[in-house]
Amino acid sequence: MQRHIITQYATIIEALRRLNELSGGVMTLIVTDNSGRMLGTVTDGDIRRGLLNGVTPADLVGRVLHSSCMTLHTGQPPMERIETMRMARSRGISLLPEINPDGTINSLIDLTRTDTILPLTAILMAGGKGERLRPLTTDTPKPLLEIDGRPIIDYNIERLARAGITDVWVTVRYLGHQIKNYFSVPRHGINVRCVEETTPMGTIGSAALIPRSFEGNTLVMNSDLLTTVNLEEMYLRHTAEKADITIAAIPYTVSVPYAILSVSNGQVTSLQEKPTYSHLANAGIYIFSNSVLSALSPDERTDATDLIEAAINQQMKVTYYPINGTWIDIGSPADFRHARELMRHHRSLSGS
């Protein structure tokens, strides 16, 4: 953070030197007074405009600072923080300061790395054996299989980091020591914590092993997905609907290669040649209110579908969020090959 902070009494030539040191990253300086209170920001554009207006390199940086800038505030309600970050992104702002009540800087948020800050805990399910992917998973847990040189689970951790989710847990069982070892160091700035199932607990039962408050919401997802799901939009839908559960859904089309008969009272009323039916399929990504997850028992096996059906039967509000983008459930060798080809294609398009 200190790399981006400069006092109002530094010279413009010093500011230029500091900006040059930031080359390749976010080239913005935060100007403070001697007490560390934020006064504004300075970019090379601000300095260029100042020089054109007669400011000299020996003048103080306070002469060219931009005082009307967007900030976050500690203790700010989550929805206000999300909206501020959305506005900052729309305006092309790259560095967003978070300010303490006394005006000092609490943190600097790099909007080239973080899209939003969602008030969610995240749980990634990584305990499965991946039997359909054998022999690839004989000695390697499926979440650690590599796609384009990175473990599958790493793509999901990166997506959580971009969403500003830092309270991240991974539940493990099969070859769990390898996953624990992988997360023995921070990944994408997140200290991921692992918990181990002692017995198989189903597709969501191990969420009972994660400590949580009764209030708030938790994102639960399978760790072996490759997806570009917009977690911010999914969370906003969950809160706008005041939902107890939001299920990410992927369009799924079924084509019937025959003419389908419609019948009534023993007679054929119509024929539909090779119809296509569209459905919404469960994508294995959910936002649960913590009150719903509190119903889980650490002594019972529970699948996500069981928990969701129980919530529906109890008249809880269950809604869905349609994924528009990439979603691959890497459950078979064909899925794995497709995911690797997709990432190679993305890399070729980006030129990396």
Tell me the pLDDT tens digit for each residue of 43-80.
989 999 999 999 999 999 989 988 888 999 998 999 99
CA–CA separation, 208 vs 214, rounded Å?
A: 12
Residue 340 is predicted with a pLDDT of: 84
Range of the domain at 187: 120-350
Q: Of 110, 134, 166, which residue sits at a domain end? A: 110
Q: Is it the case that residue 281 has pLDDT exceeding 70?
A: yes
Q: Is it the case that residue 352 has pLDDT exceeding 70?
A: no
Q: What type of residue sits at position 264? A: S
pLDDT tens, residue by residue, 321-340: 999 988 888 888 888 888 88
Do 131 and 60 have their domain in common? Answer: no
The DSSP result for 117-132, as a single string, is ---EEEEEEE----GG
Average pLDDT of 169-185?
93
Do 149 and 62 have their domain in common? Answer: no
Which residue matches tokens 């708030």? 216
Do 12 and 156 have their domain in common? Answer: no
Do 238 and 149 have their domain in common? Answer: yes
**CA–CA distances in Å: residue 184 to residues 95, 124, 191:** 29, 16, 8
Do 243 and 223 have their domain in common? Answer: yes
Average pLDDT of 236-257?
94
Phi and psi, residue 85, nearest 5°: -70, -35
Do 69 and 136 have their domain in common? Answer: no
Do 77 and 106 have their domain in common? Answer: yes
Do 68 and 134 have their domain in common? Answer: no
Q: Is 20 exposed, middle or buried (0-12, 13-18, 19+ CB in 10 A)?
A: exposed
Q: Look at the pTM and tell me if it is higher than 0.85.
A: yes
Per-residue pLDDT band at 317 (split at 50, 70, 90): very high
Do 241 and 324 have their domain in common? Answer: yes
Do 250 and 162 have their domain in common? Answer: yes
**CA–CA distances in Å: residue 201 to residues 146, 172, 181:** 26, 11, 22
Give me the chain's average pLDDT, please. 91
Number of domains, the chain: 2
Per-residue pLDDT band at 313 (split at 50, 70, 90): very high
Q: Of 92, 110, 128, which residue sits at a domain end? A: 110
Do 92 and 225 have their domain in common? Answer: no
Do 90 and 191 have their domain in common? Answer: no
Residue 95 is predicted with a pLDDT of: 92
Q: Of 85, 110, 135, which residue sits at a domain end? A: 110
pLDDT tens, residue by residue, 23-46: 888 889 999 998 999 999 999 899
Question: Helix, strand or coil for residue 94?
Answer: coil
Per-residue pLDDT band at 137 (split at 50, 70, 90): confident
Residue 347 is predicted with a pLDDT of: 65
Per-residue pLDDT band at 160 (split at 50, 70, 90): very high
